[in-house]
Structure 1
Amino acid sequence: MADIFIYGTLMHQPLLRVVLGAGFDVVEQVAARLPGWRVEAVPGEVYPMVRADAEAEAHGLLLRGLTDEALARADFYEGLDNYGYLRKPVVVQTEDGPAEATVYVPLSQDGVSAGDWSLAAWAEKWGALSALAAEEVMWWMGRATTVEVGRRYGVICTRAQARLNSREEAPTTLRRRAREGDVRVNALRRPYAGFFAVEELELSHIRFDGGDGGPIQRAAFVSADAATVLPYDPKRDRVMLVEQMRPGPLARGDAQPWVLEPIAGRVDPGESPEECAHREAMEEAGLVLERLIPTGGYYPSPGAKTEYLYGFIGLADLHDNAAGLGGVAGEGEDIRAHIVSFDAAMTLLESGEINVGTTVASLLHLAARRDGLRGQS
């Protein structure tokens, strides 16, 4: 066994419970101080680090009685062979006097400080998301190295953000209201995990006749949530459509893989769907939206995909020079924007040239709201 002094995100109890697993219930947590070290924020990151400072003192928790399994889990989460950390022997101070421990510290102490780091401020914005991300991280223990998991951590966090979003209560006036235990996942496999992930599930669930429907095998294509926004100028009665080559139609064998869509993008960790819509409008089309009108959220293909879309109409000034080329070059985006009249867009929809579900849904929502929006302009 080895005792660990923790000073950062692991002090968040829901996260620590996920990381330690069953070992969380037996570990003793003691308030402690580490003289000669300072906790500080890392530039561009949400987690802190400790830096040697003879005049400072780091406050944290001493974890006593860690099982070998819990210690191995903590080492895996901290990524000793990925993030350049080591577990260094130290002496911490407790109410009962000095105690020997180890602490995770970066191999390099170089870099500029980003100032003080606050656990309370971090937990308010990132705590729930980090605990959900840790569930996937820890699932990979014994299945992948921390180097491999570290490369995926960004997209793991986007999937965690989607799970966090899914906690929002949704109406159940006609459909069954799920209760705890109505669906049971007995086994989970992830044969692929990259920008997207594939999850194979063995599950059972309550049937409408009251029986137990299972076990059954299902698979889901797991991705981040996304926001779509159809820019509309009510004064000129114009919309903006963006065009780009998409791998979905290409892989299907479609002879025309360039498609017409609303502006869209994934909801990044810590980002709201509204913030995503504004950001993507600027990235894809250099467009500043005046106001967002929500058109609802939905699963485009719930039989196989976890993707959940937040739809918006974005009021904007679509002048003659508003269309052009856009996209983030570093992400391989090549986007062309088109400004067309509302009637022309509906003609494209009726002809089948618009064949993307998000564009169809966005235009139909706009058609239902168009008169009211034009009356306000």
Structure 2
Amino acid sequence: MTLPLRYFLFGTLRHLPLLEAVLGGPAVTEPATLADHAVMRAQGHSFPILIRQPGARAEGLLVHTDADGAARLDLYEEGFDYKVTEVTVETASGPRTARLFASDGAPLRPDGPWDLDDWARRYAAATVEAVPEVLDLARTQPFAVQQARYAMVLARADSTLRARAHPAPATLRRSPRPDDLQVEHLERPYAWFFGVEEAHMRFRRFDGSLSAPVRRAAFVMADAVTVLPYDPATDNVLLIEQHRFGPQVRGDTNPWTLEPIAGRIDPGEPPETTAEREAMEEAALPLRALHPIAQCYPTPGAVTEYLYLFLGLADLSQTHQRIGGLETEAEDIRSHVIPFPRLMELVQNGEVQNGPLLTSTFWLALNRARLRCG
């Protein structure tokens, strides 16, 4: 069968699993080049841009597709502010006219050569996993909304991959079989910083039968880390204070909460790296070492968020109360350095209400003597 439509792809869609996820099936491709152009990394981003460069040749793929595949490609790229133009590319069988996705927005600066393999090692798996949600957004939301949501879509996809790869011991609980969960219909009625997924599903009951159809909903969030900085030499800890919207919505009369340092895991980033990065962003604090405390779902009945809790050893002898946080995220964060006995007082009088901080405090109480001797 002849596939009438051709696209020249120079960037991330050259990664075959991503291309086939977008097309919805196998891809028919051949190598191609575009004369007088070069593929460069976009400054401040992981993706490439195509720039004019006399004498250069941009390497890419020529993909042959039908109208359905073309519609899916157009829909996917629309969310990244690309419009279709036509170019002539060179292939082993001669020149071919093809469609090209060209940026229609503000020009981006080139920042050296872009390498597909380097991109794929860090970002490809999450990008492929995110394709269904990206296409759903493109079908239902305007461009500005798609762009605003994309980072969180990618982070949620990365969390899904991490969950699949995580050991799931079942020495006491059920060890599920593939047919123990049957999702009949899935909707995403809302997505921004977090998403909402609503499923019509059946699940395997403990008597072996399938449940009647049930309707379940969950807040879909990215995995995150928390880290409680501790200085064994001074027996001090560092706490973060900031306004939290959740307690405010609940009606709490004081929605400023005491917490450990915390932050979302970026796609392709190990949790330990996130902990170190967040300590610098929120408290300008380098960590000497990290001790794992726990990995857990804080609210599994309604929220997908999965936390990696750490204790971070740090020198707090010269660290005092400060105001910090990223302006780009509208953060207004105050840090407190206090003795460990004072932290226990705050736990006992109810001023500490943050679950990860409570867990980290109890872990530190059990391990404090060992850490101070070490």
TM-score range, shorter chain: over 0.9
TM-score (normalizing by structure 1): 0.92
State the alpha-carbon separation in 2 of the partners of residues 74 and 236 from structure 1. 58
Q: Deviations over 1:47-98 (max 9, x none)?
A: 112223331222222111x22221111111111xx64433222222222222
State the alpha-carbon separation in 2 of the partners of residues 324 and 139 from structure 1. 43
User: What residue number does 1:47 align with?
Assistant: 47
Q: Structure 1 residue 225: deviation in Å?
A: 1.1
Answering whether residue 139 of structure 2 is matched by residue 156 of structure 1, we say no
Is the 8 Å Cα contact of residues 283 and 325 (structure 2) preserved in structure 1?
yes
User: What residue number does 1:130 align with?
Assistant: 127
Q: Structure 1 residue 228: deviation in Å?
A: 0.4
Q: 2:112 aligns with which of 115, 134, 138?
A: 115
Is the 8 Å Cα contact of residues 138 and 146 (structure 2) preserved in structure 1?
no
Is the 8 Å Cα contact of residues 51 and 109 (structure 1) preserved in structure 2?
no
SS of aligned partner of 1:239: strand
Q: Structure 1 residue 358: deviation in Å?
A: 1.0
State the alpha-carbon separation in 1 of the partners of residues 81 and 284 from structure 2. 38
Q: Deviations over 1:241-260 (max 9, x none)?
A: 21122111111111121221
Is the 8 Å Cα contact of residues 229 and 263 (structure 1) preserved in structure 2?
yes
Q: Structure 1 residue 3: deviation in Å?
A: 0.9
Q: 1:10 aligns with which of 13, 25, 31?
A: 13
User: What residue number does 2:67 align with?
Assistant: 68
- Structure 1 ranges of 4+ moved more than 6 A: none
Answering whether residue 262 of structure 2 is matched by residue 264 of structure 1, we say yes
Letter in 2 for 1:2: L
State the alpha-carbon separation in 2 of the partners of residues 325 and 110 from structure 1. 35
State the alpha-carbon separation in 2 of the partners of residues 284 and 35 from structure 1. 47
Q: Structure 1 residue 17: deviation in Å?
A: 1.7
Q: 1:334 aligns with which of 329, 332, 352?
A: 332
User: What residue number does 1:366 align with?
Assistant: 364
Letter in 2 for 1:99: R
State the alpha-carbon separation in 2 of the partners of residues 266 and 254 from structure 1. 24
State the alpha-carbon separation in 1 of the partners of residues 59 and 314 from structure 2. 50
Letter in 2 for 1:158: A
State the alpha-carbon separation in 2 of the partners of residues 337 and 147 from structure 1. 35
State the alpha-carbon separation in 2 of the partners of residues 334 and 40 from structure 1. 36
SS of aligned partner of 2:184: strand
Letter in 1 for 2:89: V
Q: Structure 1 residue 296: deviation in Å?
A: 1.8
TM-score (normalizing by structure 2): 0.93
Q: Structure 1 residue 35: deviation in Å?
A: 2.4
Letter in 1 for 2:186: L
Q: 2:83 aligns with which of 78, 83, 86?
A: 86
Is the 8 Å Cα contact of residues 49 and 110 (structure 2) preserved in structure 1?
no
Q: Structure 1 residue 109: deviation in Å?
A: 9.6
State the alpha-carbon separation in 1 of the partners of residues 318 and 149 from structure 2. 42
Q: For residues 191 and 373 of structure 1, do their structure 2 counterparts lie closer, same or farther at Cα, with a shift above 3 Å needed?
A: same
Aligned length: 370
Q: Deviations over 1:136-157 (max 9, x none)?
A: 1012242223442122111111
Structure 1 unaligned residues grouped into runs of 5+: none
Q: For residues 143 and 341 of structure 1, do their structure 2 counterparts lie closer, same or farther at Cα, with a shift above 3 Å needed?
A: same
Q: For residues 106 and 336 of structure 1, do their structure 2 counterparts lie closer, same or farther at Cα, with a shift above 3 Å needed?
A: closer
SS of aligned partner of 2:156: helix
Q: For residues 111 and 230 of structure 1, do their structure 2 counterparts lie closer, same or farther at Cα, with a shift above 3 Å needed?
A: closer
State the alpha-carbon separation in 2 of the partners of residues 290 and 56 from structure 1. 47
Q: Structure 1 residue 99: deviation in Å?
A: 2.1
Q: For residues 274 and 20 of structure 1, do their structure 2 counterparts lie closer, same or farther at Cα, with a shift above 3 Å needed?
A: same
User: What residue number does 1:289 align with?
Assistant: 287
Q: Deviations over 1:291-329 (max 9, x none)?
A: 111112100000000111110001111226433222223
State the alpha-carbon separation in 1 of the partners of residues 340 and 104 from structure 2. 59
Answering whether residue 23 of structure 2 is matched by residue 20 of structure 1, we say yes
Q: Structure 1 residue 361: deviation in Å?
A: 0.5
Is the 8 Å Cα contact of residues 77 and 146 (structure 1) preserved in structure 2?
no
State the alpha-carbon separation in 2 of the partners of residues 112 and 330 from structure 1. 21
Q: For residues 248 and 110 of structure 1, do their structure 2 counterparts lie closer, same or farther at Cα, with a shift above 3 Å needed?
A: closer
State the alpha-carbon separation in 2 of the partners of residues 203 and 97 from structure 1. 52
Aligned residue runs from structure 1 range 212-291, under 5 A? 212-291=210-289
SS of aligned partner of 1:50: strand
Letter in 2 for 1:11: R
User: What residue number does 2:76 align with?
Assistant: 77
Q: For residues 371 and 19 of structure 1, do their structure 2 counterparts lie closer, same or farther at Cα, with a shift above 3 Å needed?
A: same
Q: For residues 111 and 150 of structure 1, do their structure 2 counterparts lie closer, same or farther at Cα, with a shift above 3 Å needed?
A: closer
Letter in 2 for 1:90: V
